[in-house]
Chains A and B, each alone.
Chain A
Amino acid sequence: MFLFDTLSLIFIALILLGAIPNLFYSFGYLPHIKRKTHYQIHYFAFILSMLGVVVAGNALVFLFFWELMSLTSWQLILTKVEDKETIKAARFYFFMTHFGFVFLLLFFLIATNGNLDSSFADMKNIVASFAYPTLLFFMLVFGFLSKAGAVPFHVWLPYAHPAAPSPVSALMSGVMLKVAIYGFARFLFDVLYPWPLEWGIVVLVIGSISSLVGVLYALSEHDIKALLANHSIENIGIILIGFGMGMIFDSLGFKTLSTFAFIAALFHVFNHMSFKSLLFMGAGSVLHQTHTKNIEKYGGLIKSMPVTALTFLLASISISALPPSNGFLSEWMIFQSMLGSYNIADMSLKLAIPFAVFALAITGGLAIACFVKAYGITFLGLNRSKNAKHAHEVNFLMKSGMILMSLVVISLMLFTPFYIFWFDKTLVSLHHISVYAKMFPHGFWNMHSVAVHGGVVSPLILLASLVGVTLLLLFAYKALHVKTRVHRTWGCGYKTSAKTQYSATGFAGPIRRFFDWLYKSNEHFHKENIGEHETKFSDSNYEVHVKPLFETSLYESSKKLTNRVSYWVYRLAHFEQTRYAAMIFNLMLLVLFSYRIFLHEFSWATFSLEFIVVIISIKVLIIGDKK
């Protein structure tokens, strides 16, 4: 019924690390919420259901907790129900999560042979005799990765996360997406184990595309929580790159590299939980004080909200993968595992891996740009609106939530070997070989890569030397007794005001212009000219809106297609009873024939005969004569 192996325990630790600081934050946030009882019931049920998912020992319990997790988070998104956008976002989330659920249910029905309370070990035996394991793999991809937010099932994240209250967005983005990764890992390892090479490549490609798409749309975003949600897509992509590399190495027989890549992915799971929760908490505090999600309305908050600003800076450094943060260490490990592709014999695959390296590297560069934007526009400069002017530091509980979460970030940075020791144990329990001794051969100071020409990194020494050198410089500066004077910012003779600063739209301008073929941005420019002058104006307004490509192409167009087909069917019917009967008859014919084709022997002769029969009957009975 329940299962407490190392993988489960690791994820219990993840959920607790994510949830405990969040509890503090959530209680601090509570006065801001109108429906308190509704919120609290669902909040605790949500945390318990996530714990339930990771300890579930059979299919039925797993599905029960999984569905409970989806429903409670759906209700939590609906906390601020008076907002029209919220309802829309919640409906979208509900649809997407159940789209995934259908595939999970199908997976379990096939893998358990209909007997839903069989354990995962039994499922492995049943699957071993199933003829199409790739079908099951794709069901897992659809089921779990739609929840995790990988491309192309990522569209719900930038809607759902901003709509939810901030502690909930922190939990959903930080923890719930990881629970989906847990499910993906659990069933790949326990049920579908010997993986063909192609599966790993599929996961790697999904990961690379997700990381790029996530960061690119994050850059064009003005809503701070949607920006962070897009970064979740990016980071899930990075996790999947590590995961995919692990699968590829495993199916090629490079066992040490495989374990290394999986450890990197697991480490990034933890890191992303820590810094993304912290970022959402920081964004929530800012939102709580300024009552707006629009990043252009912030500015200068570092002076009024120092704790929030400092913790946000820590998280920004970490998510931008800058040394010596924990985010850097996991990304370093993923790069190292890709460097291991040197050993691969298959030339086409070997040449393909550098493209994934490229995707990951450009993601890193753009993430830095994006977080300079998010941090700089939010916390630095002058207040850009009245709301930002009246902001002050949040209450004690919210502050302590953020501080606790930054302690989690720092612990991941300082105690990397400890965490990696446990990730290694986890993979050993999943029948992989141990690499801990190879990664830390000479104590915990240096972390070695297991790739052939691999490198070394020593997080503690880096941290110590950076802090040491900075302090030395600071002391030297203090010792100089430099005279300082405070004066206005130089503005070419004009006054510096909130409007003369760079805006978030302007900051992302060059990148947006460079990637315009992808964004296809919608620009609105309005100018109140003075008299006949083209260049003189009293007021102007410039806005850019970017509609995500996947949403317009994949989702909107499939919606349009469905509409068109249903309209065509509707026109056919003409409200005549005979037509309805004819349609039912044809449908039955189709079902019978396809049953025959798929489950019995297939031959082109009968197939073409049946095809012609169906076409003729459709033509004669349904369409009839054209008038």
Chain B
Amino acid sequence: MIIYVTTIAVLLLLAPLLLSFIKSLKMVLLFKRPSSLLQGYRNFSKLMKKETIISQETSSITTYAPFLVLSPLLVTMFFLPPVVHGAFYVSFVDAFTITGLLSLSTFFLMLLGLDSASAFGGMGSSREAFISALVEPAMVLTVFSVSMMAGDLGIGQAGVNLAEHFPKEHMASFLFAGISFFILLIAENGRIPVDNPETHLELTMVHEAMILDLSGVYLAIIETAASVKFVIFASLFVSLFIPLGLQYSAPVAILIFIAKLFGVAVAVALLEVNTAKLRLFKVPNLLGISIVFAFLSLITFYVLGA
């Protein structure tokens, strides 16, 4: 139980750091002077001190939606697979529920975008709706396939099973599912090539457009939600597809887990530096690749058993 609580606390604390890490790594790779690793925390504490400006066109949705965006994600944090062998994990939640909770958060985020009557908000919501509609089938199919290899749909149990018995005999389908999930990680967190989190150019904005009218604490909440979402996806990816190093003692295992999270962050940063942002209407192709890999994973598992 102590390990369980510690892990969640560590993940929460780590969330802003990971995104700042990606940003500064990207800057290093682009020969720029990197921003501080603590920038995420600085932004947070500054935003918490600022006053909140609420648009006069908004309704009660803007007052409550930021909390409803963050709370499903915070709840999801409690359902992640264990990072240490034999640690406590929540057994009554399965992967479909997690998918649903993430969609719930996105649902309120999209409503938030439409609430302020600005053209930007609507545009962001519309694009997000388009992307997340196509993410959904890929996500469900990947979950379907992973649950077969892990022998359980329950997300905690699946993580434990995969760590105890690495699916060597199903390496091909495991790999396909991993590729599919990595594409989802990028798409759901709005990273390049799907969305560019750094610019405020209307052609490229998705996530930033929806939250353009937020400020102060509300903005801090939404930014926290974004970083928590990234941590959730990264740790799901790490627990399900790199289930190694859980057998060591608790501090070591947690350190290994954190190292793996940073590994994912490095991968995302390298991908971001090496690709350009896709046009919105090319994004379905990328998500289509993800769907195809998920199907491939299922088919190889069924037909070849590999």
A contact residues vs B (CB 8 Å cutoff): 300, 302-303, 306, 317, 320-323, 328, 332, 335-336, 339, 342, 347, 350-351, 354, 357-358, 360-362, 364-366, 368-369, 372-373, 375-377, 379-382, 445-446, 449, 451, 453-458, 461-462, 465-466, 469-470, 473-474, 477, 480, 482-491, 496, 498, 500-502, 506-511, 513-514
A365 contact from B75, B117, B136, Cβ within 8 A? B136
Q: How far is the CA of A227 from the CA of B115 in the complex (A)?
A: 21
Q: How far is the CA of A381 from the CA of B57 in the complex (A)?
A: 6
Among A335, A482, A502, residue most surrounded by chain B Cβ atoms (within 10 Å): A502
- A379, chain B: closest CB distance, angstroms: 8
> Is B27's beta carbon under 8 Å from chain A?
no
Question: Is A485 within 8 A of B94, CB to CB?
Answer: no
Instruction: Using known A-B contacts A482-B52, A489-B55, determine if residue A354 contacts B141 with beta carbons closer than 8 Å.
Output: yes
Question: Is A364 within 8 A of B136, CB to CB?
Answer: yes
Question: Is B117 within 8 A of A382, CB to CB?
Answer: yes
What are 25 A-B contacts with C-beta separation under 8 Å? Answer: A303-B59, A323-B100, A336-B153, A351-B298, A357-B141, A358-B295, A365-B136, A380-B114, A381-B114, A462-B93, A465-B75, A473-B74, A473-B221, A483-B51, A484-B54, A485-B51, A485-B52, A487-B56, A488-B56, A488-B57, A489-B55, A498-B117, A500-B117, A502-B114, A511-B133
When distances are taken between beta carbons in the complex, the residues of chain A under 8 Å from B7 are none
> Is B39's beta carbon under 8 Å from chain A?
no
A489 contact from B103, B136, B150, B213, Cβ within 8 A? B213
Instruction: Using known A-B contacts A469-B71, A470-B68, A490-B212, determine if residue A457 contacts B92 with beta carbons closer than 8 Å.
Output: yes
Question: Is B71 within 8 A of A470, CB to CB?
Answer: yes
Given contacts A364-B140, A453-B152, A486-B55, 11 further A-B contacts (CB under 8 A): A357-B137, A358-B140, A369-B130, A381-B117, A382-B117, A451-B153, A458-B92, A473-B71, A484-B51, A500-B118, A509-B126
> Is B30's beta carbon under 8 Å from chain A?
no
| Chain B residue nearest in CB terms to A375 | B111
> Is B284's beta carbon under 8 Å from chain A?
yes
When distances are taken between beta carbons in the complex, the residues of chain B under 8 Å from A382 are 57, 117
Q: How far is the CA of A511 from the CA of B213 in the complex (A)?
A: 25
Q: How far is the CA of A461 from the CA of B52 in the complex (A)?
A: 33
User: What 10 A-B pairs are tightest by C-beta distance, nearest first?
Assistant: A502-B122, A455-B94, A365-B136, A376-B114, A455-B153, A365-B133, A369-B129, A361-B140, A510-B130, A361-B137
A510 contact from B57, B144, B280, Cβ within 8 A? B280
When distances are taken between beta carbons in the complex, the residues of chain B under 8 Å from A328 are 100
Question: Is A302 within 8 A of B61, CB to CB?
Answer: yes
| Chain A residue nearest in CB terms to B138 | A361
When distances are taken between beta carbons in the complex, the residues of chain A under 8 Å from B51 are 482-485
- B76, chain A: closest CB distance, angstroms: 10
When distances are taken between beta carbons in the complex, the residues of chain A under 8 Å from B78 are 465
Instruction: Mark interface residues in B103-143 (1 if CB within 8 Å of A CB, else 0).
Output: 11011001101111111011101110110111111011100
- A348, chain B: closest CB distance, angstroms: 10
> Is B148's beta carbon under 8 Å from chain A?
yes
Instruction: Mark interface residues in B57-88 (1 if CB within 8 Å of A CB, else 0).
Output: 11111001001101110110010000000000
> Is B254's beta carbon under 8 Å from chain A?
no
Q: How far is the CA of A360 from the CA of B137 in the complex (A)?
A: 8
Instruction: Mark interface residues in B275-306 (1 if CB within 8 Å of A CB, else 0).
Output: 00000110010000001000100110011000
- B221, chain A: closest CB distance, angstroms: 8
When distances are taken between beta carbons in the complex, the residues of chain B under 8 Å from A458 are 92-93
The A contact surface, by secondary structure, is helix
Instruction: Using known A-B contacts A372-B125, A500-B118, determine if residue A457 contacts B96 with beta carbons closer than 8 Å.
Output: yes
Q: How far is the CA of A496 from the CA of B115 in the complex (A)?
A: 12
| Chain A residue nearest in CB terms to B221 | A473
| Chain B residue nearest in CB terms to A369 | B129
B contact residues vs A (CB 8 Å cutoff): 48, 51-61, 64, 67-68, 70-72, 74-75, 78, 91-97, 100-101, 103-104, 106-107, 110-111, 113-119, 121-123, 125-127, 129-130, 132-137, 139-141, 144, 147-148, 150-154, 212-213, 216-217, 221, 280-281, 284, 291, 295, 298-299, 302-303
Q: How far is the CA of A462 from the CA of B100 in the complex (A)?
A: 11
Question: Is A462 within 8 A of B97, CB to CB?
Answer: yes
- B129, chain A: closest CB distance, angstroms: 4
Question: Is B148 within 8 A of A486, CB to CB?
Answer: no
| Chain A residue nearest in CB terms to B98 | A323
Question: Is B94 within 8 A of A474, CB to CB?
Answer: no
Question: Is A484 within 8 A of B130, CB to CB?
Answer: no
Q: How far is the CA of A445 from the CA of B94 in the complex (A)?
A: 14
When distances are taken between beta carbons in the complex, the residues of chain A under 8 Å from B123 are 502, 506
Question: Is A369 within 8 A of B118, CB to CB?
Answer: no
Question: Is B53 within 8 A of A339, CB to CB?
Answer: no
Instruction: Using known A-B contacts A351-B302, A466-B72, A500-B118, determine if residue A323 contacts B97 with beta carbons closer than 8 Å.
Output: yes
Among A320, A369, A462, residue most surrounded by chain B Cβ atoms (within 10 Å): A369
Question: Is A513 within 8 A of B137, CB to CB?
Answer: no
When distances are taken between beta carbons in the complex, the residues of chain B under 8 Å from A364 are 103, 136, 140
When distances are taken between beta carbons in the complex, the residues of chain A under 8 Å from B74 are 469, 473
Q: How far is the CA of A446 from the CA of B97 in the complex (A)?
A: 13
When distances are taken between beta carbons in the complex, the residues of chain B under 8 Å from A380 are 59, 61, 111, 114-115, 117
- A604, chain B: closest CB distance, angstroms: 42
Question: Is B281 within 8 A of A514, CB to CB?
Answer: yes
Among A372, A466, A469, A507, residue most surrounded by chain B Cβ atoms (within 10 Å): A372
- A331, chain B: closest CB distance, angstroms: 8
Q: How far is the CA of A376 from the CA of B121 in the complex (A)?
A: 11
Question: Is B130 within 8 A of A446, CB to CB?
Answer: no
Question: Is B147 within 8 A of A453, CB to CB?
Answer: yes
When distances are taken between beta carbons in the complex, the residues of chain A under 8 Å from B221 are 473
Q: How far is the CA of A477 from the CA of B68 in the complex (A)?
A: 13
When distances are taken between beta carbons in the complex, the residues of chain A under 8 Å from B48 are 480
- B57, chain A: closest CB distance, angstroms: 5
